[in-house]
Amino acid sequence: MTEVRAKKFLGQHFLTDESIAQRIVESLSPDVKCALEIGPGMGVLTKYLMQHEGLDFHVVEIDRESVAYLHGHYPTLDVIEGDFLKYDLSVFSSPFAIIGNFPYNISSQILFKVLDNRDHVHEVVGMFQKEVAERVAAGPGSKTYGILSVLLAAFYRTEYLFTVHEHVFNPPPKVKSAVIRLTRNEVAELDCDEKLFVQTVKAGFNQRRKTLRNALRQLNIPLDGIPDTFLVKRAEQLSVDEFVTLTKMIQECR
């Protein structure tokens, strides 16, 4: 492992602790039939995932050296060489799970892509930087509750599983890491205009210290019909359901 020259710009921090690798893989629901690992690197998670009998399993890796390593060590593995962010996920049998010790430089983009593909991605298990994991799993009233927390909670049950120390990586990242699990909930579609919902959530949190009355001005919609009970609050106080209710009221103001 020491001879591996990790490429920082690809977010390469290789996990060196086998028990943590096993714990991540064991966090996948037993009924998952198809899974895609993002950024397998030198295969520390991959080798445990390959032991899952009957799992339709694929990996996507952008780094050519890692791809060559994987081909050499796991000749039967389906290695997709390329950028996960550009890959069309509809080719996988639906529903499927996404797993990985993710490249931290594209954490938010991975999660937004999951949201875009929410009808196919039924579970996500993986490692992010601790701060992102906390934001994902935060609920209303928390300082870390934000845009991603609300958008993900609208369609996934989010769980913070465990924290991982930086010394179990080569090279060690500057920050702590954490493993989370997202499980698709029962909501097929929101009971409001989804585009406006996203705009409302974003506007609310873009100026999170302001009351909604002020923060929502950037929507350029008169908010006359909306009760003060909503407008005096701040975005971080609203649950997903309250954001849906607010969006429906804004729809009526248009």
Query: Which residues in this chain contact ligand SAH in the complex, by CB under 6 A?
Result: 10-15, 38-42, 44-45, 60-63, 66, 83-85, 100-101, 103, 106
Q: How far is the CB of 148 from ligand SAH (least distance, A)?
A: 18
Considering beta carbons, is residue 10 or 231 the nearer one to ligand SAH?
10
Residues 6+ positions from 88 with CB-CB distance below 8 Å = none
Record the tokens describing residue 24, joined without a space: 């991540």
Q: How far is the CB of 109 from ligand SAH (least distance, A)?
A: 8
Considering beta carbons, is residue 20 or 196 the nearer one to ligand SAH?
20
Q: How far is the CB of 152 from ligand SAH (least distance, A)?
A: 20
Considering beta carbons, is residue 145 or 169 the nearer one to ligand SAH?
169
Q: How far is the CB of 131 from ligand SAH (least distance, A)?
A: 17
Considering beta carbons, is residue 177 or 247 the nearer one to ligand SAH?
177
- Give the residue at shortest CB distance from ligand SAH: 39
Please report the sign of the dihedral spanned by the C-alpha atoms of residue 226, residue 228, residue 231, residue 235.
negative
Backbone angles phi, psi at 36, to 5 degrees: -125, 125
Cα–Cα distances (Å) from 71 to 34, 38, 41, 75, in that order, read 20, 16, 11, 5
82: number of Cβ within 10 Å = 12
